[in-house]
Structure 1
Amino acid sequence: MKKHLLLLLFINQVAQAQIEYQSGSLPSALKENAHAVVRRHETTFTVKSVGEATQRIHTVVTILDERGDDQAKKVVGYDKLSKVTSLEGTLYDADGKLIKKLKKGDIDDNSTYTDYNLFDDQRIKVASFPKQPSYPYTVDFLVETTERNLMFYPTWIPQNEEHLAVEQAMFTIIMPPGLALRYKEMNIPTPVALTSLADGGKTYVWKVADRPAVEFEPLSPPAREQLPIVYTAPIDFDVQDYKGHLTTWKELGQFYHTLNTGRDRIPEELRQRVLELTKNEKSTLGKVQKVYKYVQDQTRYISIQLGIGGWQTIEADKVAASKYGDCKALTNYTQALLKAIGVTAYPALVRAGDSEPDLLVDFPSFQFNHVILCVPDKRDTLFLECTDGHSPAGYVGDFTGNRHVLLIQPDGGQLIKTPAYHSANNLQQRRIAITLTEQGDATADVRTRYTGLQQDDYASVLHRLSHDDQRTWLLKRIRIPAFELNTFTYQEQSGDVPVVIETLGLTVRRLATASGTRLFLPLNLMSALSQATPQLQPRRAAIELGANYNYEDSDTITYQIPKGYAPEYTIPPVEIDSKFGRYTAQLTVNGDRMTYVRQITMHGGRFLPAAYSDWVDFRKKVAKADRAQMVFVKLN
């Protein structure tokens, strides 16, 4: 009887597994708007001690179409502090029949070395299946790893992209006696289920099920505010005999300071050199600018993924000898040079990236991917991007600007904010002189002054591309239907907020359309805005206009009209006011010269979902105004 029950149980398990691999068993609601469906996603993180854990991730995904093919690939990173103990993959057809099991030789093992990663002990294992001739099909991956860098606990994101549905997913963390877990839930419908174990340990379990695919709306907030996520972190941990206790930002800063203390020694010859370099500077700002320029001129950035999980810096004297370093090393080196001349500076950990969301300030943990240097000053706090070879001291752009950073001081960490750049900092000031022929062709001399965030791309091109490559880049960027680029130059201007001046010499074919005795002339040559994408369904998410929506553009275009032509009518001034910004345009005609002045000031920020229709209306009005044209009639 017992054997019979065991046999029935086994048969039931096999049948259940087969259903899991059959695409026909998928609920229709999960296939809607989806390219793939996660049938099962199980992550188990078992903490053995303060310094070791194991992780097991089992995923079964049914891929519905070509755009879901990326789910047929599994990439697993590892380094000296982690080990991949198992990586398995299995492929099934639409009926759940086995097509292929990956063999050891099918799995690639590669270094993550690139031309900017001079030293890197990180590697990846890649398991993937070839493109399938028909859809749907199902992949099953099992990954097991051993982890010895417990500064980091897993972040669980079972639905990690658009157009991906989830049938069932479970996240389990098993903690041993004496060790506690910290966690933060976001968009989790059911809170954690906590179970105490017989040995005094604890098990934490999160589950989600039957989540349809999502499609992010235009200008919506970060994905973490819309998808189910569980962040986890330790309280006590040990990495290569460096012990940490983490419940506050202060404690995280203490650990980082301990990890990197004593690595700021520089050769005496170098100390004397920076003293000589700055001896005539009376202000802290002047001294910092001299040292920062010296670092920019004498060193270069190379990514180095070594040390305690990549978090311990190379010593300053080694950077002095080699003339290169990663963000940690160059920041530490610059700090050491400033220390030599009596200027106090501190590293600041940051989550860098122009599209990265700010830190979760209420969840102290290692959320950072970059380091910059902070110089406190009585008048103002100065931030230095030590990997940047050309920006002025104090400018951080949108790569590290307008976000919280963790200032690392000897007594611990403190959250502070980097500068935010507002509309008045991010200017595009353009003046254009156009001479128009009777056939509608034109020559245009264009001078544009870009500042702040609006100059970032141009400064990058100026310093990183050859003249020929700059020309190619520029030809793709200019939005004029038919033109020739005769000349172009770029010039930088120094200041607290960087400036790039661009001058262009253009020939524009058929700028104006000739029809009989009339010329139809579009007024806005280079700065017209398009309409916003309307939404047919009610808006769900807030409207997120990021830093790139804080800007001010002004265009002054002077037209030399062909002799014997006069305007057929006048165009009244345009004013459009909105919570999102303000737009004005006006036209004046003086004989055969006409001047068009257009200005727009945009305001970034977060707005309620209901305001999206106002955003569409605002952009529609601006786009219409930007399409304005003047009609000239030839006089007898």
Structure 2
Amino acid sequence: MEKLLFMALLMSQTVLAQVEYQSEVLSPILKENAHAVVRRHETTFTVKSVGEATQRVRSVITVLDEQGDDHAKMVVGYDKLSKVTNLEGALYDASGKLIKKLKKADIEDYSTYSDYNLFDDNRYKSASFPKQPTYPYTVEFLIETTERNLMFYPTWMPQNEEHLSVEQAAFTVIMPLSLALRYKEMNIPTPGVEKTATNGTKTYVWKLANCSAIEFEPMSPPAREQLPVVYTAPTDFEVQEYKGKLTSWNDVGRFYDSLNNNRDHIPDDLRQRVINLIKDETTTAGKVRKLYRFLQDHTRYVSVQLGIGGWQTIEAEKVAASKYGDCKALTNYMKALLRAAGVNAYPALVRAGDNEADILADFPSFQFNHIILGVPDGRDTLFLECTNGHGPAGYVGDFTGNRHALLILPDGSRLIKTPAYQPSDNRQWRRIAVNVTEKGDATVEVQTRYTGLQQDDYANVIHSMNHDEQRSWLLKRIHIPAFELNTFVYNELSGSIPAITETLTLAVRQWATASGTRLFLPLNLMSALSSITPLTQPRRADVDLTTNYDFEDSDTIMYQLPKGYTPEYRIDPLMIESKFGRYTAQLAIDGDQITYIRHITMHGGRFPAAVYTQWVDFRKKIAKADRTQMVFIKNN
């Protein structure tokens, strides 16, 4: 009898195991709006001590269509502080039949070394299954790792993208009784974590079930605000004999300072050179500008992912000798130069990236990926991006601008905000002269001045591309139906807010349309904004206009018409105003010369979902205004 019961239990477990590989049993709700479905996602993180842990992740994902094929690939990173002890994989057809299992020969091992990674001990293992001829199919991966860098605990986000649903997922953290776990839940269904204690350990378990796929709405907040996620962090940790606590931002700063203390000494001859360089400067800002230029002229950026998890800097003396360094090393070196000049400066940890979400300010942990330098100057702090070889001192752009940074101070580290650039900082000022022929063709001279965030892309192009590459890049940015780019010139202008001038000459085919005795002339040559597609369903998420939505554009276009044409009608001045910004356009006519002046100021920010229709309406009105054209009649 017992044998029969055991056989029945074994068979039922086998059937249940096969079900998770079968596609036909999937709920239609989980397939709706999804490219793939997470059938099972099981993560177990076991902390053995302050300096060692293991992690096991098993995932089973059914791929529904071609856009879900990325889930058939698994990439696992590791370095000298972590080890991949096991990587397995299997592929199943729609009925759950095994097609293929991963072999050792299918798993490739790569270094993350690149042209800008001079030294790097990071590596990754990669495994993937070949593209399948039919859908759906299911893939299973099992990854087991050991971790000896417990500055970082896992972030659990099984539904980590749009168009991905989750059937079942579980996250388990097992801690010794002597260690405390810190965690932050976002979008986790009630009741959240389940806690138990037994056999000398504490166990924390989070579960998800039947999470439908979502599609991110335009201008919506970061994924972490819309999808289930659990952040975890230690209270006590150890890495390569360095011990730390992690209960406050001051703890983060104290640990970073302990790793990098006394690494900012420079040779005596360099110290004397610094003193000579700044001898005529009487202000902190003047000394900073002079030494920042020295840094840019005499060092170059390379990525160096060595040291304690990449968090410990190369000594300033070595940077002085080698003339290169990563963000930590160049920041530390700049700090040393300023100290020699009698100027105090402090590292500032930041989460960098043009499209990176800001850190979670209420969850102290190692969320940073970059470091800049903060220089107190009166009531202000001047931030220096020490990896930038060409920008002005104090300008950080959108790479590290408008977000929290942890300023590492001797009397207690604290979060501060980096500069947020206003519309008046981010300007596009354009003057265009257009000569129009009777056939509607035009010769065009364009002079544009870009400032602040609007010049960032142009500055990168100037410093990273040759003339032919710049031309190809520029051709893709000019949105005129039919034109030839005859000449282009760029010039950089100095200032606390950087600026670039662009001079173009163009030949435009049939910009105006000739029809009988009439000439139809569109007024906005180069700066027209498109409308925003309205949603077909009620808006769910906030309208997030916090990235690159603070700007001013001014266009003055002077059209020289062919002789003998007069306007068929006049166009009144136009103003469109809302909480998102202000748009004006007006026209002046002086004989056969037409002057069109357009100005728009946009205000970024976070707005409630209910105002999305107002945003659509505002952009629709602007797009319509930007399509305005004049009609001219030829006099007999």
Q: With structure 2 as the length reference, what TM-score do the two structures score?
A: 0.99
Partner of 2:81: 81
Partner of 2:420: 420
Partner of 2:320: 320
Partner of 2:301: 301
> What whole-Å deviation, never above 9, does each CA across 1:586-606 have from its counterpart, x for those lacking one?
101011111000011101011
Alignment check: 8 A CA contact 1:301 1:325 kept: yes
Correspondence 1:592-607 to 2 at 5 A: 592-607=592-607
Correspondence 1:188-199 to 2 at 5 A: 188-199=188-199
Correspondence 1:81-480 to 2 at 5 A: 81-480=81-480
Moved more, 169-178 or 5-14: 5-14
Q: Output the amino acid matched with 2:434.
A: I
SS of equivalent residue, structure 1 residue 368: coil
Q: State the alpha-carbon separation in 1 of the partners of residues 32 and 364 from structure 2.
A: 38
Q: Output the amino acid matched with 2:428.
A: Q
Partner of 1:21: 21
Alignment check: 8 A CA contact 1:252 1:412 kept: no
| 1:467, distance to aligned residue in structure 2 (A) | 1.2
| 1:196, distance to aligned residue in structure 2 (A) | 3.4
Q: Output the amino acid matched with 2:166.
A: V
> What whole-Å deviation, never above 9, does each CA across 1:189-219 have from its counterpart, x for those lacking one?
0344443333332100000100111100000
> What whole-Å deviation, never above 9, does each CA across 1:262-319 have from its counterpart, x for those lacking one?
1111111111111111111111111111110001011111011100000000111111
SS of equivalent residue, structure 1 residue 197: strand
| 1:237, distance to aligned residue in structure 2 (A) | 0.1
Correspondence 1:39-78 to 2 at 5 A: 39-78=39-78
SS of equivalent residue, structure 1 residue 24: coil
SS of equivalent residue, structure 1 residue 419: coil
> What whole-Å deviation, never above 9, does each CA across 1:176-199 have from its counterpart, x for those lacking one?
121000000000003444433333
| 1:379, distance to aligned residue in structure 2 (A) | 4.5
* Identity level (%): 72
> What whole-Å deviation, never above 9, does each CA across 1:56-86 have from its counterpart, x for those lacking one?
0000000011110000001000000000000
Gaps of 5+ in 1: none
Q: State the alpha-carbon separation in 2 of the partners of residues 164 and 291 from structure 1.
A: 50
Partner of 1:555: 555
Alignment check: 8 A CA contact 1:191 1:206 kept: no
Alignment check: 8 A CA contact 2:552 2:600 kept: yes
Q: State the alpha-carbon separation in 2 of the partners of residues 272 and 611 from structure 1.
A: 60
Alignment check: 8 A CA contact 1:73 1:128 kept: yes
Q: State the alpha-carbon separation in 1 of the partners of residues 72 and 560 from structure 2.
A: 61
Q: State the alpha-carbon separation in 2 of the partners of residues 312 and 398 from structure 1.
A: 26
Alignment check: 8 A CA contact 2:196 2:204 kept: no
Alignment check: 8 A CA contact 1:392 1:498 kept: yes
Alignment check: 8 A CA contact 1:168 1:209 kept: yes
| 1:561, distance to aligned residue in structure 2 (A) | 1.0
Alignment check: 8 A CA contact 1:327 1:387 kept: yes
Q: Output the amino acid matched with 1:117.
A: N
Partner of 1:487: 487
Alignment check: 8 A CA contact 1:421 1:547 kept: no
SS of equivalent residue, structure 1 residue 356: coil
Q: 1:236 to 1:34 in 2, by over 3 A?
A: same
Q: Output the amino acid matched with 1:232.
A: T
SS of equivalent residue, structure 2 residue 393: coil
| 1:475, distance to aligned residue in structure 2 (A) | 0.8
Alignment check: 8 A CA contact 1:192 1:204 kept: no
Alignment check: 8 A CA contact 1:542 1:606 kept: yes
> What whole-Å deviation, never above 9, does each CA across 1:476-529 have from its counterpart, x for those lacking one?
111111111111111111111001011111111111001111110000000001
| 1:445, distance to aligned residue in structure 2 (A) | 0.9
> What whole-Å deviation, never above 9, does each CA across 1:549-584 have from its counterpart, x for those lacking one?
100101000111111111111011111111111111
Alignment check: 8 A CA contact 2:407 2:413 kept: yes
Q: State the alpha-carbon separation in 1 of the partners of residues 193 and 75 from structure 2.
A: 30
CA root-mean-square deviation: 0.8
Q: Output the amino acid matched with 2:154.
A: P
Aligned length: 636
Partner of 1:34: 34
Runs of 4+ in structure 1 over 4 Å off: none
Correspondence 1:555-634 to 2 at 5 A: 555-634=555-634
Q: State the alpha-carbon separation in 2 of the partners of residues 195 and 352 from structure 1.
A: 35
Alignment check: 8 A CA contact 1:254 1:411 kept: no
Q: State the alpha-carbon separation in 1 of the partners of residues 550 and 481 from structure 2.
A: 28
SS of equivalent residue, structure 2 residue 115: coil
Q: 1:336 to 1:126 in 2, by over 3 A?
A: same
Q: 1:625 to 1:561 in 2, by over 3 A?
A: same
SS of equivalent residue, structure 1 residue 376: strand
